Amino acid sequence: MSKDEGATAKNSILLAYPYDFVGTVPIKAARRRHWPTFLAGTVMVIIFWLITPLQSAIMGTGIVSVKRDMAFSTNTQFEPIVEHEYLLDQSVLNEGYAITWLNQPLPPFTAPDYTVLPFYPSRNISLTNAANWTGITTKYSTALNCWPAQAAQQGPASRRTFYFDNGRGCNVSDIVPHPSSGGATPFKMLYFGYQGSPYADYALGTPTCSSNSTHQFLATWSTFQNFNKSIDDIHLEAIFCETNYHKQKVQVTITTDQLAPVSQSIIPLESPQPLSATEFNVSSFEYLLGAGVSAVELFVQREHPFGRVLEQLPKIKDLGLTWPMSPMVGFAVGSQKVTNMNELNNQTGLAEAYNSTHQLMFSLALRRLLLNATTSSISDGTVIFDLHGVIVSRLFSAVVEGLLCLVAVLTLLLCWTSSIAPCNLTRDPASLGDLIRICRNSLPLLEQFAGKDCLTEDDMTATFPQQRFRLVCGCRTRSGEMKIKILDDTGDRDASVIILGQEDALSLTRGHYSPVRPYVMRRDFGLMFILVMITAIVGLAVLKSKEKADGGLAQPDASFEVLKILLNYLPTVFATLLEPMWVLLNRLMCMIQPFKDLWSGSRPAKGSINARYTSVPPQLVFWRALGARHFLLATVCFVALMSNLLAVGLSGIFNQLPVKTFQPRSFEQTLLPRLINKTMYSLDVPWNTRAISYEEPFYVAMNNLSQGTPLPPWHNHEYFFQPFTIDAKKDETKVETYKARTRGLGVVPTCRSGGSFTSKGDGPVLQNVNSLKDMLAFDCPETYQPGALDTNKEMYTLPSGRSSAEVVDTVTQNFTLEGCDVTFILGWSRSSEVEAGDGRMETSFAMCRPVFTTAMFDLTVDTEGYVLEADRVSEHEEDLGYPDSIKHVESMIIVLNHLLRDNQMHWHNDTVSRDWFNYLIKIQPGFEDLLDPQTPVPNPDDLIPTIESLYRQLYALLLGLNDNIFERSEKPAIIEGTRQQTEVRIFIPLAAFIISIAVLSLNILTAVVLYTHGVKFFLPRMPTTVGSVLAYVAPSRAVSEYHDGGVALNKSTTFSFGRYIGVDGRAHVGIEIDPFVVPVKLSSLRKGETQPSSLLRRTFTRKSTSESGDTWL
């Protein structure tokens, strides 16, 4: 209206932007080309529903990687070349055995196909936070060059001998690739290198092989096809391979959890160089691979496990391989996870199997040769730390940054458009009184609005279709008062007199009107509004109860950004939708409150027409409303303010945390706790095979105790557990552990000290080595004298100086599984005169009488059956509850005793072990000098806890590694258990939950009071526009008498809202000075006083055609 041409009523005095829903304001303003309003409304919409919700979705917790430059040092070097032949021994093969078959992790800085020199940060850093580091080092690797061997029959077909030629000047003859006739072992694999050895059956190092073949080997695979004793029975595959060893300078990334190189990160810095003979003793390494022992095996004494040929037959006996076999054959089969020997029935498969095996063995051999150097080399690199902290979503942050920039631009445009827009306002129309002051001088305007007090908003708009209004500031007039002029159609002059016709004037004066009911203040809307908030509370309560019951809510499988939208953005949007609704209600309440007070009657100007509730944001009216004792309005203001707190609570209502979850699961069991009598005493078990010494349980225990290698599935250190079927593929999610109740089988060694003795020439005699029960049942001897301590035997060369000897024995030397050998005897002896033959010796003994034990356990295993936890839930029992069970379990005790016993003469003047049991004790903490002849005889009482623990572990391994001795059921038994997995689940923090529920409850309570008692409908239309308010006061005395020297200064003057006779002599509804006003009764508005009030009157009284407005006053 401040423009020269003014503005139409629709775009000026009948405009109600402040009371529109904020989301619709920009649209309406754009249509009317009210650009400042459009800009302000757009900024509000962006802040309400874009920036505010997105702010809560910008950040989340997680792992952040931080990269830092770091200097690294390499302070390792290889042992002198002359030491390599001593260091490259069976320990390399044993480590390969543990990695291949026992799930032992690779050594640090080692991959299956290469190794790198270790390098570490030059200054101390926390490895717990470092994710990996990258530096420069040397990579060592090997690769095989394989080609088909030329094979031909040699000699008579019945001999099954072959001739092999590499086509490069080397051939070998009289090779028998398969000496068996098939049966249960139809497959045979050979591996022999160039160098000959007493431990190897074949070698390429013959006069028929040239010197350029020294680093080659021959590998064969064969199987029987028929059994007609001809050469055609054998299907044969054979390859020659040549080794190559290289080193290369590279940049590589190392993971800090296992110090493992990341193969994908390797960046070559130089071309590969051949490994020279002065760096690595290739001959000793290849001798070890070909013979299975070190090149100096005949000249050195090693610890017991490392002075023996590694046998892998028990690991692959079910595949049908014929013994004997080279250790490399076992590694080749194990490296490829072969389940059927026909998988290697091709030259490519053979080459790949031996190539991966050579690479692993080479990496382990190099690790064996490393030692710390006195000097170190420094190189630059980087360290990446994993820090748990706040993650900022780049997508959402970029969106918010863009929106903030947009808000800034729109704000600048708003300032610019506001500054250039004309404005003739000299007073803030913040109250009814202010509006009266502005319009009291605009007589034509007041005449236009007189008599329109009962019109609806639509009728009001239709009444002024073309009139234009202009605001004149009055800055140059004596009074300085503003006024609103009405322009004619051309806008060139004031339309100072506009007179309505008598018929139109009478039509505008109505005796009855229906009160306007704003939709957002109706009870049906209120009911819907309350139901939405109740639904939100119920939803939150259900989610919270489900979270407690299920240990968290399942997280959708979505990206970080999508999760933030679901968990933060949408709840915040809900809260920010409630806030504008309460703000709108608050505005309407602020607008209606003065009219409500006036409707109550006799209100002074201060609390009614001068109430300035619309001059500040509705939420900030709280203190004014409280001071005016408008408690419901103050409550609505407070709730509108609390909507911001609700947005805070809902934005953090969902948290993501990793937790363990449990779901029920059924398992199947086929293995029964019943031993098969026939199998135990047959050749199907490895301890009855005379071809090899069965030592598998000892290798497993050795690697577990020394390297931390995990025990086989279904084992812990004391029990073998009855397995149940695990099929992780059936589970939709990644399961970490399973738990079920199953039976554990073990032994209680029941060891005691046998005492300490002094004797000469022979070992002491132990009394009462067997129980009376065993002596009566099995005619067992009562005494025991160790023959291994006899110093009078001439067939042995006794050591000089102070010496020691060990006893690991049973009571008898029988090989049968009879009850006498259940007793297990250990002894340790020291002597300084053993070489004399009848020297004095000091000996101590420990004796064990193992007893079988079984119980039920709640067993927790991983997806492969490795035991994580075992909780006993029943009492121990000493049998399995079937006939002969005691005999069977004691037979297995005797089997273990026989495998452990060593009755050979082992006097020695060094500290090297000669048997498995003493070696396994020695490698445990505190027993390093167990076999040292310079130390006193061990005290058995100090050893008994370790002996019992070790014996229990070996017995459980013996049972579990040979589970074919147990019966299987035809129909699997079903047991119930649970599956456990660690997953990220959604939790509702208690603080955010309480805040949200409290604020929503307050909202509901306030809404209930507001919509049931707080809203009174008595106005013909809402006073949301200047024109709507003017229609209520235009014909009243309040306008003509309201000025600074009149009513405004008279504190005794009161105002009311109701029916009155205006200055024009007509009846009106609006605001008038008391006592010229009659209050409006809601009952009259509902019934309508100008209409017949009863059925009788409506029946017999004819409706008046006149609608005179004077009849009700």
Residue-by-residue DSSP string for 693-743: ---HHHHHHHHHHHH-PPPPTTB-SSEEE------GGG-SS---EEEEEEE
Which residues of 149-260 form beta strands (DSSP E)? 150-154, 161-165, 171-175, 187-192, 216-224, 234-255
Residue bearing the bigger pLDDT, 509 or 937: 937
Residue 789 pLDDT exceeds 70: yes
Q: Which residues contact 87 (CB under 8 A, 6 or more apart)?
A: 79, 368, 369
Quick check: 121 and 72 in contact, CB under 8 A?
A: yes
What pLDDT is stored for residue 776 in this prediction? 58
Quick check: 433 and 440 in contact, CB under 8 A?
A: no
Residue 334 host element (H or E): helix 327-335
Query: How far is it, in rounded angstroms, from Cα 618 to Cα 590?
Result: 7
pLDDT-based confidence at 767, cuts 50/70/90? Answer: confident
In degrees, rounded to 5, the angle at the alpha carbon of residue 160 between the alpha carbons of residues 157 and 163 is 100
Say which DSSP state 425 is in.
-
Q: Which two tokens stand for residue 657?
A: 């945390």
What pLDDT is stored for residue 463 in this prediction? 81
- Strand, coil or helix: 911: coil
The phi, psi pair for 941, rounded to 5°, reads -65, -30
Residue 730 host element (H or E): none
Q: Which two tokens stand for residue 637?
A: 């203001």
Tell me the sheet residues that pair with 715.
Answer: 720
Q: Which two tokens stand for residue 286?
A: 């290849």
Q: Which two tokens stand for residue 621?
A: 């009216």
Residue 657 identity (one-letter amino acid): L
Residue with tokens 């809601």: 1082
What pLDDT is stored for residue 930 in this prediction? 94
What pLDDT is stored for residue 225 in this prediction? 66
Residue 740 host element (H or E): strand 737-748
| CB neighbourhood size of 43 (10 A) | 20
Query: How far is it, in rounded angstroms, from Cα 332 to Cα 940?
Result: 44
Residue 11 identity (one-letter amino acid): N
Chain center to CA of 617: 46
What pLDDT is stored for residue 517 in this prediction? 78
Tell me the sheet residues that pair with 861.
Answer: 738, 867
Residue bearing the bigger pLDDT, 1038 or 381: 381
Which residues of 509-604 form beta strands (DSSP E)? 553-554, 603-604
pLDDT-based confidence at 229, cuts 50/70/90? Answer: low
Give the CA distances from residue 282 to residues 278, 285, 303, 369, in Å, rounded to whole numbers and listed in that order. Answer: 10, 5, 24, 12
Mean pLDDT comparison of 602-606, 780-784, 801-805, highest-scoring range: 801-805
Quick check: 130 and 63 in contact, CB under 8 A?
A: no
Q: What is the mean pLDDT of residues 839-861?
A: 94
Query: How far is it, in rounded angstroms, from Cα 855 to Cα 742?
Result: 9
What pLDDT is stored for residue 743 in this prediction? 96
Q: Which two tokens stand for residue 402?
A: 């863009």
Q: Which two tokens stand for residue 1008?
A: 């209930």
Query: How far is it, in rounded angstroms, from Cα 474 to Cα 824?
Result: 120
Tell me the sheet residues that pair with 809.
Answer: 825
What pLDDT is stored for residue 936 in this prediction? 94
What pLDDT is stored for residue 1042 in this prediction? 67
User: Cis bond leading into 1075, ω under 30°?
Assistant: yes
Tell me: the pLDDT tens digits for 140-188? 999 999 999 998 888 776 677 888 999 888 999 888 887 766 677 888 8
Residue 1046 pLDDT exceeds 70: no
Alpha helices in 336-393 (DSSP H): 347-368
What pLDDT is stored for residue 189 in this prediction? 92
Q: Which two tokens stand for residue 181?
A: 């006739």
Residue 175 identity (one-letter amino acid): I
Mean pLDDT comparison of 328-337, 672-681, 688-697, highest-scoring range: 328-337
What pLDDT is stored for residue 1103 in this prediction? 46
What pLDDT is stored for residue 771 in this prediction? 67
Quick check: 295 and 196 in contact, CB under 8 A?
A: no
Q: What is the mean pLDDT of residues 82-86?
A: 92
User: Cis bond leading into 594, ω under 30°?
Assistant: no
Chain center to CA of 788: 59
Residue 779 pLDDT exceeds 80: no
Q: What is the mean pLDDT of the chain?
A: 83
Chain center to CA of 654: 16
Residue bearing the bigger pLDDT, 761 or 184: 761
Instruction: Tell how many helices (H) and how many strands (E) occur in the chain.
Output: 30, 32
The phi, psi pair for 719, rounded to 5°, reads -140, 150
Note if the pTM is more than 0.85: no
Directed axis angle between helix 35-46 and helix 394-420, to 10°?
160
Residue bearing the bigger pLDDT, 386 or 189: 189
Q: What is the mean pLDDT of residues 1065-1085?
A: 81
Residue bearing the bigger pLDDT, 797 or 295: 295
Burial class (CB in 10 A: 0-12, 13-18, 19+), 824: buried
- Strand, coil or helix: 59: strand
Which residues of 489-626 form beta strands (DSSP E)? 553-554, 603-604
Q: What is the mean pLDDT of residues 223-247?
A: 79
- Strand, coil or helix: 217: strand
Residue bearing the bigger pLDDT, 500 or 471: 471
Quick check: 5 and 386 in contact, CB under 8 A?
A: no
Q: Dmax over Cα atoms in the chain, in whole Å? A: 151
pLDDT-based confidence at 227, cuts 50/70/90? Answer: low
Length of the chain: 1113
| CB neighbourhood size of 325 (10 A) | 21
Quick check: 133 and 385 in contact, CB under 8 A?
A: no
Rg of the chain on CA atoms, in Å: 50
The phi, psi pair for 173, rounded to 5°, reads -130, 175
Residue burial 920-941, b: 16+ Cβ < 10 Å; e: rest: bbbbeeebeebbebeeebbebe
Query: How far is it, in rounded angstroms, from Cα 288 to Cα 197?
Result: 10
Query: How far is it, in rounded angstroms, from Cα 632 to Cα 626?
Result: 9
Tell me: the pLDDT tens digits for 526-542? 899 999 999 999 999 99
| CB neighbourhood size of 30 (10 A) | 15
SS3 of 752-813: the string is: EEEEEEEEECCCCCECCCCCHHHHHHHCCCCCECCHHHCCCCCCCCCCCCCEEEEEEEECCC
What pLDDT is stored for residue 254 in this prediction? 92
N- to C-terminal Cα distance for the chain?
37
Quick check: 1089 and 511 in contact, CB under 8 A?
A: yes
pLDDT-based confidence at 1022, cuts 50/70/90? Answer: confident
Query: How far is it, in rounded angstroms, from Cα 1023 to Cα 598?
Result: 13
Tell me: the pLDDT tens digits for 1006-1019? 999 888 876 777 78
pLDDT-based confidence at 795, cuts 50/70/90? Answer: low
In degrees, rounded to 5, the angle at the alpha carbon of residue 880 between the alpha carbons of residues 876 and 885 is 130
Least confident range from 462-476, 805-819, 853-867, 965-979: namely 462-476
State what percent of residues in the chain have pLDDT above 90: 36
Query: How far is it, in rounded angstroms, from Cα 784 to Cα 893?
Result: 19
